[in-house]
Structure 1
Amino acid sequence: MPDKIKTFNPFPHATPSHQRREDMQWYHLARWRRLRNWKLRLNPTCQRCGTHEDLHVHHIKPRKQFPELALQLENLKTLCRKCHGIEESSVTKL
Structure 2
Amino acid sequence: MRIRLDAREWRTADDLWTALRPAIGMPTSHGPNLDALFDALVARLMLVAPPIEITLDRLAEAGPAAIAYATRVREVFDDAAAETGETFVFRLA
TM over 0.5: no
Q: TM-score, normalised by structure 1?
A: 0.22
Q: TM-score, normalised by structure 2?
A: 0.22
Rg comparison, structure with higher value: 1
Q: Answer 1 or 2: higher relative contact order, Cα 8 Å, separation at least 6.
A: 2
